[in-house]
Each structure stands twice: as C-alpha cells, then as structure tokens.
Amino acid sequence: MATNELEKTLNRMKVTLKARELPGTPARGFSPNVRNWRVTLTREVKGEEKPLKLSLVLLSPNEPTLPEVVECLASDIDAGELSLWDFAQEFNRGKTDQGTERMYQTCKRTGSRARRFFGDSKVVQTVLGIPRAA
C-alpha cells in the first residue's frame, strides 16, 4: 500500500499526532542515543464530543513521525498474533520470563486498541494488518 494513500486516509480521518519526550534513559540493551517518546494519536469522530485517543510509548532517536508510528503499530500487531513461545523465540532468545510475557501482552492489547481507534477503514486495516472483526 502506498504511503501517500495511507497519509490521505489518515488526513481524511483527521488523525493527528502529538509526541512528547519522556525523561529518563532507555532500558538496558538499547542504544544510548535513543529516547523515550509518549505518542498520542487523536481522531475526531462524527457525532461525538470527545475524540478517540490512542497512546503508546516508543523508542526513537528523533521525534517520531506518523509513518513511523504506524510502522510501530503494525509491528506490535504482528507480534501480538504470535504465540508466547514464538514471541520469545523472536524477541528474547527463547526465554519466556516475566518481562517477555509483559511485552507479549502489551503487543496483544495494541491490536484491539488499534482496531477500536482506526475503526473499519480498509486502507488503514490493510497497512496495519488488522484482521476484520468477525
């Protein structure tokens, strides 16, 4: 799917991005030049007073852009579709410790939160790899 089509769809949906750098240093094992960012996506919904919001924390050396956030969401959704064992093989050298399980559960929650935020937009669902709700 072309990035331009995604950007057009996000503009039509009135999705905005707000990024705020969090104090502190990244966790052990990450490059020291990356920084923590709290990213909030906001989408106006017709007929509703309050907009929908989707917040997440990501690591990036620079302020994240909307395509980077969408790529991060897509990666989390893909990882949440794996089993815990497969997730541990891919991201933690096969160790299924408590930290790995917390990361896995976070990725699983991201899928349902993204589905609720983006709704039934076919373009965004295709790019993010969100399966259609049954």
pLDDT tens profile 34-70 = 888 999 999 888 888 899 899 988 888 899 988 888 8
Q: Are strands 52-60 and 15-21 parallel, antiparallel or unpaired?
A: unpaired
Split into its structural domains, the chain has a count of 1
Confirm whether 11 is domain-assigned: yes
DSSP conformational letter for 50 = S
Q: Is residue 111 part of a domain?
A: yes
Q: Is the pLDDT at 106 greater than 50, yes or no?
A: yes
Quote the longest CA-to-CA distance of the chain. 48
Mapped onto helix, strand or coil, the DSSP state of residue 36 is strand
Q: Which domain holds residue 113?
A: 3-126
Q: Residue 70: inside a domain, yes or no?
A: yes
Residue 134 belongs to a domain = no
Q: Where is pLDDT greater, at 124 or 68?
A: 68
Q: Which residue has the tokens 């956030």?
A: 69
3-class DSSP state of 112 = helix
- 131 occurs within a structural domain: no
